[in-house]
């Protein structure tokens, strides 16, 4: 155990604010297991009815891309302008498209 004073493992918290909305990252908490993680997340991030559903994920399990590789990582989309509606010419007079 590398935790010097047992700070407990780190978890990331995602909260769904309203029915139909996506879960959004709120921050992180420390907890020893999944039940404590859910309870701590509730107590820390939803004291005013900010959420109706919570996801917790161990921080170690999150893989993130970095800004340094942003260019090459996302540039595969750069030459696919035809994915945007503005790429196409619609004959004049055609409505509601």
Tell me if residue 69 falls in helix, strand or coil.
helix
> How large is the greatest C-alpha to C-alpha distance in the chain, in angstroms?
72
Please give the residues from 55 up to 84 whose contact with other proteins meets the rule CB under 8 A.
64, 66-68
- Closest distance of CB 54 from other proteins, Å: 15
Candidates 32, 53, 62, 73; binder of other proteins (CB under 8 A) is: 32
Distance CA 47, CA 39 (A): 12
Work out which of 16, 17, 30, 39 binds other proteins, going by CB under 8 A. Answer: 30
- Rounded to the nearest 5 degrees, what angle is found at the Cα of 45, between the Cα atoms of 61 and 60? 10
Question: Which residues of the shown chain bind other proteins in the complex (CB under 8 A)?
Answer: 1, 3-8, 10, 26-30, 32-33, 36, 43-44, 47-48, 64, 66-68
């Amino acid at each position: 155990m590398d935790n010097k004073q047992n700070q407990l493992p780190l978890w990331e918290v995602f909260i769904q604010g309203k029915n139909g909305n996506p879960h959004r990252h709120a921050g992180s908490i420390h907890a020893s297991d999944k039940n404590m993680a859910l309870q701590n997340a509730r107590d820390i991030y939803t004291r005013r009815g900010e959420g109706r559903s919570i996801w917790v994920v161990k921080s170690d399990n999150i893989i993130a891309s970095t800004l340094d590789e942003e260019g090459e990582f996302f540039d595969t989309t750069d030459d696919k302008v035809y994915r945007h509606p503005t790429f196409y010419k619609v004959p004049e007079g055609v409505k509601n498209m």
